[in-house]
Structure 1
């Protein structure tokens, strides 16, 4: 990552649209673009938000054309080879507007969400097999001395949570998303917008998630799991169940389950939402 910039469109001095952008050395850290665009993935790119944000959007969308013009100009000044938006929700107004401005829209990934309205049991949205697995897994975990805690993320051991997140992400080639000091500083700065959900066996942390909250949604933003446990259970379903339960306790209407791990999430009632990249060469 080279730098961040923020575009602000103003009318009579009042901000009417904003967009964070990042200049990335090697614009394809997850390997999702090179099969869809004529690039190697190592080129510098000026992109919307950052790759770890799965919810790209533009407050003040009617000013998109002005923002895109500014992006193109800045990309040229900074020596970027490509510019545009990643992680744009399929079917969103932003995607349709970008297509109208000449951007291709290429599917790169899926994110998953769960509508919590009317849900009274975390296992209820799952398939019959998924519900049985969740309940059996939780029973076995209780027998193995597993406990759960939820607390403001800034009070948790963020170094250990970050280590778990990086260890899990390394399996997908993206451990660099969790530089220890930056991760801890960012999460701490979020204050009460961030919650830590922790799963412990005895005193050892075996799974943890940092969850972000807005007015209606509860985001399972980052998680890490250590599968080296004592007993016949899996930590990840425990973390998922505890996170959904916390979202329900807080009265959130929508649980955002993040990207990837489609088989598990579909089995447990989450719905797929496609994400696209909309990029142009400079």
Structure 2
């Protein structure tokens, strides 16, 4: 959170932090951010009457795809947080406030519905349950038949092309090249501004050992990258970029996933978080979708 404050990857005007206390003891917390342009991924304007350029007070940040209220365990905790968000949104002049990337079926989603928030599906994120797996072949075996064949065929072709794969800490890689490849790939999907080079390189560098970078090289050329994040139980395939005009008859993209699984297993993680989007590939290749909702309300005007 300190790193994102130093290097905000979207146009954030200010950060705030709520702490809910019960008889002086902290029982729940929530970071929120005031965005200039509340819809940088263009996922809200089809579900809400917004242009996307409005100012919005949102739970955490768009680069985090896992909304929750740490510590919250009762409806009273959620009511305290949403009431504080409403008041702060009004004081800051935000047009909307609420939560994005709320997991469908979660306790938080139900509590927000009870507080009067709507819930609109905006995207799916993808996961792999690694418990019970000991090697990458266990993961490949869980893919659909076409996905299994593609993983194995793609691996053979990449080996024939002399592809090299490396997992390294951010300090040991060319982060400018990594950022450029991530930005170029994101641009193909209409979100090219999602990885501003100076901020992105600063952010990944400052994360230190909380991040690692997977690189795929064809001879001396960087053809695939994944910036991955770690928490106590999960390995996050968070941002990636690939060249589509490689020399061999293979794709760097499946290699990024098999390498991510291998690294997650080596680190003893329970879950691989596979990020959002690219639905056809991920469903076919062994990742499980989890629907994400936006729960937003218009802010009351200041009196």
| Between 44-53 and 120-129, the greater mean CA deviation after superposition | 120-129
Unmatched 5+ stretches in structure 2: 1-10
Q: Scaled by the length of structure 1, what TM-score is found?
A: 0.95
Cα offset, 1:15, TM superposition: 3.3
Match for residue 19 of structure 1? 30
Q: Which runs of 5+ in 1 are unaligned?
A: none
Question: Contact 1:46/1:84 (CA < 8 Å) preserved in 2?
Answer: yes
Q: CA deviation at 1:12?
A: 5.3
> Equivalent residue of 2:275, what SS?
strand
Moved more, 212-221 or 14-23: 14-23
In the alignment, is residue 52 of structure 1 matched against residue 63 of structure 2? yes
1:33 is aligned to 2:44:
yes
Rounded to whole Å, the distance in 1 between the matches of 2:192 and 2:32 is 21
When structure 1 is superposed on structure 2, of 235-244 and 86-95 the one drifting more is 235-244
Q: Please say which of residues 94-103 and 33-42 is displaced more in the overlay.
A: 33-42
> Tell me, what secondary structure is at the counterpart of 1:30?
coil
Secondary structure of 1:24's partner? strand
**How far apart in 2 are the matches of 1:134 and 1:197?**
17
Q: TM-score, normalised by structure 2?
A: 0.89
1:180 and 2:191 aligned: no
Tell me the equivalent position of 2:8.
none
Corresponding residue for residue 3 of structure 2: none
Instruction: Tell me the number of residue pairs that the alignment of Structure 1 and Structure 2 aligns.
Output: 282
Alignment of 1:1-282 (within 5 A): 1=11, 2-11=13-22, 13-61=24-72, 62=74, 63-119=77-133, 120=135, 121=137, 122-282=139-299
| Superposition deviation, residue 222 in structure 1 | 0.8
* TM superposition shift of 1:172: 2.0
1:205: how far off?
Answer: 1.0
Q: CA RMSD in A?
A: 1.4
Aligned equivalents of 1:64, 1:172: Cα separation in 2: 35
What SS does structure 2 have at the residue aligned with 1:134?
A: helix
Q: Is the 8 A contact 1:154 1:187 kept in 2?
A: no
| Aligned partner of residue 123 in structure 1, secondary structure | helix
Paired with 1:218 and 1:52, the residues of 2 have a C-alpha distance of 15
Q: Secondary structure at the match of 1:221?
A: strand
How far 1:235 moved relative to its partner? 1.1
Structure 1: 4+ residue segments shifted above 3 A: 10-15
Secondary structure at the residue paired with 1:8?
Answer: strand
SS of structure 1 residue aligned to 2:151: helix
| Farther-moved stretch of structure 1 (145-154 vs 104-113) | 145-154
Q: Distance in 1 between matches of 2:44 and 2:34?
A: 16
